[in-house]
Amino acid sequence: MMMVGLDDYQARQLAELLDLHVIGTPGVLLRAKRAGLLPLVRPELDALKAQGFRLTIDLYRDVLALAEEG
């Protein structure tokens, strides 16, 4: 399966039209934690937000819940 990491909305739409599996930064962080490469997701999400990364509060909470940090 081909996968592409994108956070830009228009890029995600195009990738989906091309039948590519799309994963955003929060998804990459979750996969890294599950693979044992990252101890916690929350500090990474907070650092991204501090740098201007747009993340809705609902997505933030959902990611933390999936990471069992919520």
What percent of the chain clears pLDDT 90, i.e. is strictly above it?
Answer: 60
The 10 Å CB-count burial string (b at 16+, else e) for 8-40 is eeeebeebeeeeeebbbbbeebbeebeeeebee
C-alpha–C-alpha distance, residues 48 and 13, integer Å: 23
Strand partners for 3: 21
In the chain, where are the structural domains located? Answer: 25-70
Q: What is the pLDDT of residues 40-52, one digit of tens each?
A: 999 999 999 999 9
Q: What is the pLDDT of residues 13-30, one digit of tens each?
A: 888 888 888 888 899 999
